[in-house]
Structure 1
Amino acid sequence: MSEAAGVMRSQSGFISEAGKKDYGPLEFTGKLAGGLRLDLRRRLPLYASDWTDAFKPDNFQKSLSSILYLFIAALAPAITFGSRFLDGTNGQFGVLEMIVSTALSGVLFSTFSGQPLSILGATGPFLAYTLVVYDLAVGADIEFMPFYLWVCMWCSLFTILVAVFDLCALMKHVTMFSEDDIFAGLISLIFIIDGVRPIIENFAEKKMSLNNAMFEALLFIYTFGLATYLSHFRRTPWMLRPIRNLMANFAVTIALVTASALAALYSSDTNLRMLSVDADFSPNLVLSDGSKRPWIVNPMGIDRDFPAWGIAYAILPAIGFAVLGYLDQNLTSVIVNRPSNGLEKPPGYHLDLFVRGALTLPACAVLGLPLSVASTVPSITHVISLTTYEVKQLPQGERKVPTKVVEQRATNFLIHVLIGCALFLAPVLKFLPRAVLQGVFFYMGIASLTGNNLFDRLFLWLIWDASKYPQYHYIQKLPIRRVHLYTFVQVICLAILYGLKAIKETSVVFPFFMASLAIIRKAMRWMFTEEELQQLDAHPAEDQDDEAPSQFRFVTGPWS
């Protein structure tokens, strides 16, 4: 037996060849850097195969399609969030810096992390909190860039300490209540709303004609609709099976290219908003003398001296950033590593956080870049794009079962290399309409809703005939009013989270409320019995007592 083959997954931990039980990935070891060292022990034997598995003959097409799709899927939010950073920070950094951050962070993370299927990038919560840091700097009358550097460096220190002291083990107290339902639902909601909002706002914008607004809306609908249809194409009777698989694997790429070609045909008659990236490869911030700031941020001030007290002042927002980064990174990792995804290689929670704290955070701080973190929607999409599913037909519906996942780090690495190369492809990228990218953004949000229990249970609110309910395991064992009550509590938490993020005055407490979801879940013991919580707050794939029919999930999303 090879050394790599001796590492096996287990719910409670990992079993070595000698049969000796090891600490699980989310257990306290009681030793300094104990969890980090165990993560290295688990992942190092697999490091070579992490680079070669993507290029095996039976994996190559799926790997290639994943690279092309995720390149666009990760570039779209980088551009979208970059424009939001530009507006929210009054030009301190923008699209170019966000693309550099995504590319650099992704290359570092994919090379050294414990779970290379996680995709790093911008997230709505990090955008909101960065704007909080900017407001703190403005309120204190100090330069933002040096202040931001110190915030990131303090955050780097706190993140490393969390990894060294095994604090990722606290994630074992996070259940599906917050992990898969509320947190993943929040990120999906951000992608959906941020995808469709600019299209709706076009009709209220005085500078844009009605014809242009309508055409952008049609491009948005075309991109989303074609990507959704083609992703299901392998399940149709049309053409030969290899062609159907090819079109399904490249669904988003086909939709994006054809939508851009359609826009080009009518470019002379319309004034579409196209992708805009500066070609001079210089930071966005203009200094008082009219020059662009240098790439390396001076920690003691750029335009004026930075006060020493500002270094200590930066600790306060750094704590919030560290809490938010801890939750974003680990919740995404937990979702990626959940048993229902069918992964075989072990995770590395402490290693992931250490790589982010020791490498990606300092790099972004010194270069003055927005922070990138494991982004839930692209990460889920990455896993799905590398997974081969078998759809089992059952009397109550369909059950989608993963049969193989191409687990490796080459696709993640090449995705972010391509994102970096996008900076040099400005003449080509200028032909990408923003409406098409918004369609990809919206598609990712809708696709990531597949399998989210909160939204599965929300759809039950629309079914008034109890005989028509899908046969979820909790439907079979609990009164429907108890299921609806549990869903209602989650909806309230999701609404509060989104409100805290969206409202500028309250966004500073957003990460702390997210952290409190685990406490809220424990407090629900006063509202529900242990049996009810066990049924409602467990992955079907983890429910060992249920019969197979109660473990299926309807295939409601674009992926199949």
Structure 2
Amino acid sequence: MAATNGPPDDPVSPTAHEPRAPAGERPPSQGPWWKIRLFRGIINDLRRRAPYYGSDWLDAWDYRVVPATVYMYFANILPALAFSLDMFQKTGSNYGVNEVLLASVLGSVVFSLFAAQPLVIVGVTGPITVFNYTVYGIVEGTGVNYIGFMAWIGIWSLVLHWILAVTNSCNWLRWVTRFPCDIFGFYVAFIYLQKGIQLLARLGSASAFYLSVTTALLVFMTAYACGRLGASSLFRNPVRVFLKDYGTPLTLIFFTGFVHFGRMQGVQLERLPTGAAFVPTSGRQWLVNFWDLSVGDIFTALPFAVLLTVLFWFDHNVSSLIAQGSEFPLRKPAGFHWDIFLLGITTGVAGILGLPFPNGLIPQAPFHTQSLCVTKPVEELDDKGEDKSGYTFRATHVVEQRVSNLAQGLMTLGTMTGPLLAVLHLIPQGVLAGLFFVMGVHALEANGITAKLIFLCRDKSLTPANHPLRAIKRRSAVWLFAAAELLGFGATFAITQTVAAVGFPVFILALIPIRAVLLPRIFHRDELALLDGPTASAFTMEGIGGMGRGEQQRQPLWRTR
């Protein structure tokens, strides 16, 4: 959907009565860097968002909140549990199921209640998993208390997050375009696919391996088919809505029981390891003895905290930008500075409790917004404006509220009880691998790199005449830009497979100046305007000073097929 410079005047939206930020209004210029007005961004965020806080709860009286809650519960908790298995094996059993569940609860409760943008799902991500076990590999054998060392990383990171928040650092997001976002999203999607394959590769016996692979593929194909059917013109509307909303959760539940049918119940499958309810995995107390570390070890944690803060600043802000992408007709303003301040709090608290640090999730955050979209069928027209005897679904509005995020967090808290932990223990790792495949493929489908590759591989005669990339005179420019994105992805993915993985956040952040400084020297300005663009609408970017210079509002390329 083409975005506008402000919230659309849609009379069917339940939020049409709400106060709106003036369209096109931008905060005054930040001014020279040495004249930073401290706390200005946080204050503006709170002022802009405060009038909507009441409606954030009242607008939840909508059916879309129910399937969004159910879907996000499964889409958040199951990948996190699979990541917990990874960390359990690679961090000396310091992080397990209960730590990951409580980290997800912490993120969802804090951000649903207090965040300026409650649509962003916060939990345990693939990149933080890589960070955690890479740090463990570095400090292992040095005699340093690993979990205490991670606590100090969280405490230092809390201070750094607060510094970034009060100095209005999120205004730099005006220079973040689709280029770094698509590369990072592509990387996260491949992390999901890689983790799914790794889960299957760890299985022992041949019979367990074959059954797990079969289960993973069946989960992927069934859940993917449900999503496709839900967006198709087949069946009646109630059936399509049901398949779209509940197809994936029901698929996971069914195939968890499927492996107990017939001869399959005799196969010893690897399952998710769980412990006692509300008890840390390693048997320690929840409060970490972080004060026992030496002064030298405390300050050694600072460089790691810098890397973590760089990762979280980019990762969380990109998650928020994509969750508020210009394809979503949002009506309520964003608040990036305040949310970074909150992220510092959750990072510090997670460190003191010995939890993996929660952060904005990709692709769950945009999936959450998408699941809250209310759509209507729109007739398709050909190039001459005539009816093509078909239709597509267009979002009329998004149910912007706080309840779905809070509810899925409370459901996660309930999962830490003994009976539900016993249920989690029944989930075969093949089912988790299948979910990784589903989420990875969905993330790839929605990625701008994929859209460009599809365009380049498409028959020119079958490419729509109004496709944005057809306006580029040099087809080689599309190839070159896609190659640059793939090179950035390849370098990011490669570095995370080495001992230098702890430093990959710096490489990710470097993609922003590469886009701003290097690419304009290679591509013409008009080509970049079509190949790249702002992540979110001008309405969303108002709180951080508007778009970067030369950026235009346009139909997102990742939505163009």
TM-score, normalization: structure 1?
0.86
2:221 is the alignment partner of 1:225:
yes
Alpha-carbon distance between aligned partners in 2 of 1:50 and 1:12, rounded to the nearest angstrom: 22
CA apart distance, 1:138: 2.8
Unaligned runs of 5+ in 2: 1-14, 538-550
Secondary structure of the 1:107 match is: helix
1:17 aligned partner: none
Whole-angstrom CA distance in 2 between matches of 1:26 and 1:509: 32
2:358 maps to which of 346, 358, 372: 372
Q: What is the one-letter code of the residue matched to 1:34?
A: R
Q: By how many angstroms is 1:251 displaced? A: 1.2
How far apart are the structure 2 equivalents of 1:32 and 1:539?
26
Partner in structure 1 of residue 57 of structure 2: 51
* Contact persistence 2:154–2:349 (CA under 8 A): no
Q: How has the CA–CA distance of structure 1 residues 530 and 96 changed in structure 2, closer, same or farther, with 3 Å as cutoff?
A: same
- The DSSP-based 3-state class of the residue aligned with 2:259 is helix
> Cα deviation per residue 1:54-95 (whole Å; 9 max; x = unaligned)?
22xxx22x2111111111111112111111111221222222
Match in the other structure for 2:303: 316
Q: Once the 2 structures are TM-superposed, how far is the Cα of residue 410 of structure 1 from its aligned partner?
A: 0.6
Q: Which residue of 1 aligns with 2:493?
A: 498
Alpha-carbon offset, residue 237 of structure 1: 5.8
Q: How does 1:257-406 map to 2 (within 5 A)?
A: 257-266=253-262, 267-285=264-282, 292-301=283-292, 306-358=293-345, 360-390=346-376, 392=378, 393-395=380-382, 401-406=394-399
Q: Per the alignment, do residues 111 and 150 of structure 1 end up closer, same or farther by CA in structure 2, a change over 3 Å counting?
A: same
Q: 1:328-363: per-residue Cα shift (whole Å, max 9, x none)? A: 1111111112222221111110111111112x1122
Q: 1:401 to 1:25 in 2, by over 3 A?
A: farther
- Share of identical aligned residues, percent? 26
> Hey, what's the Cα distance between the residues in 1 that align with 2:352 and 2:528?
46
CA–CA distance in structure 2, aligned partners of residues 410 and 256 of structure 1: 24
**Higher RCO (CA-CA < 8 Å; seq separation 6+):** 2
Give, in angstroms, the shift of residue 232 of structure 1: 2.9
Structure 1 residue aligned with 2:545: none
Q: Does 1:415 align with 2:408?
A: yes
More deviation, 344-353/228-237: 228-237
In the alignment, structure 1 residue 528 sits paired with structure 2 residue 534: no
Aligned residues: 521
3-state SS, counterpart of residue 440 of structure 2? helix
Distance 1:460 1:44 in 2: 43
Offset at residue 450 of structure 1 (A): 3.3
In the superposition, relative to structure 1, how do residues 212 and 552 fare at CA in structure 2: closer, same or farther (>3 Å)? Answer: closer
1:457 and 1:338 map into 2 onto residues whose CA distance is 18
- Map 1:114-263; keep pairs closer than 5 Å: 114-138=116-140, 140-179=142-181, 181-199=182-200, 201=201, 205=203, 207-209=204-206, 211-235=207-231, 239-263=235-259
2: CA distance between counterparts of 1:312 and 1:353? 23
How far did residue 382 of structure 1 move? 0.8
1:309–1:539 Cα change, 3 Å: closer
Please tell me the residue identity of whatever aligns with 1:326. W
| TM-score (structure 2 length as normaliser) | 0.86
CA contact (8 A) 2:84 2:96 kept: yes
The one-letter amino acid paired with 1:420 is: L
- AA of the residue aligned to 1:403: T
Cα distance in 1 for residues equivalent to 2:155 and 2:350: 9
SS of 2:290 mapped into structure 1: coil
Q: Which moved more, 1:24-33 or 1:443-452?
A: 24-33
Following superposition, the deviation at residue 311 of structure 1 comes to 1.4
Instruction: Give the alignment's Cα RMSD to 1 decimal.
Output: 2.8
Q: Secondary structure at the match of 2:396?
A: strand
Tell me how far 1:134 sits from its aligned partner: 2.1
Any conservation in 2 of the 1:264–1:431 contact (CA below 8 Å)?
no
Give the secondary structure class of the aligned counterpart of 1:401: strand
Q: 404-413 or 337-346: which moved more?
A: 337-346
Q: Structure 2 counterpart of 1:437, which letter?
A: L
2:259–2:265 CA contact under 8 A, matched in 1:
no
**1:6 aligned onto 2:8:** no
The 2-side partners of 1:391 and 1:10 are apart by 28
Deviation sequence 1:241-276 (CA, Å, 0-9, x none): 223312321111221122223223245332222333
Contact 2:176–2:535 under 8 Å retained in 1: no
How far, CA to CA, are the matches of 1:49 and 1:90 in structure 2?
A: 46
Q: 2:79 aligns with which of 74, 77, 80?
A: 77
1:4 touches 1:46 (CA, 8 Å); kept in 2?
A: no
Q: Deviations over 1:404-431 (max 9, x none)?
A: 2111111001111111111111222233
User: Relative to 1, partners in 2 of residues 1:197 and 1:89: Cα closer, same or farther, differing over 3 Å?
Assistant: closer
Contact 1:146 1:297 in 2 (8 A): yes
Instruction: Measure the CA separation in 1 of the matches of 2:553 and 2:161.
Output: 39
Kindly indicate whether residue 453 of structure 2 is the aligned counterpart of residue 475 of structure 1: no
Q: Is 1:432 matched with 2:427?
A: yes
What SS does the corresponding residue of 1:264 show, helix, strand or coil?
A: coil
Q: CA deviation at 1:24?
A: 9.2
Give the gaps of 5 or more residues in structure 1.
14-21, 286-291, 556-560
Check conservation: 2:533, 2:552, Cα contact below 8 A. no
Q: 1:238 to 1:462 in 2, by over 3 A?
A: closer
Contact 2:183 2:485 (C-alpha < 8 Å) held by counterparts: yes
Cα 1:544–1:155 shift into 2, 3 Å: closer
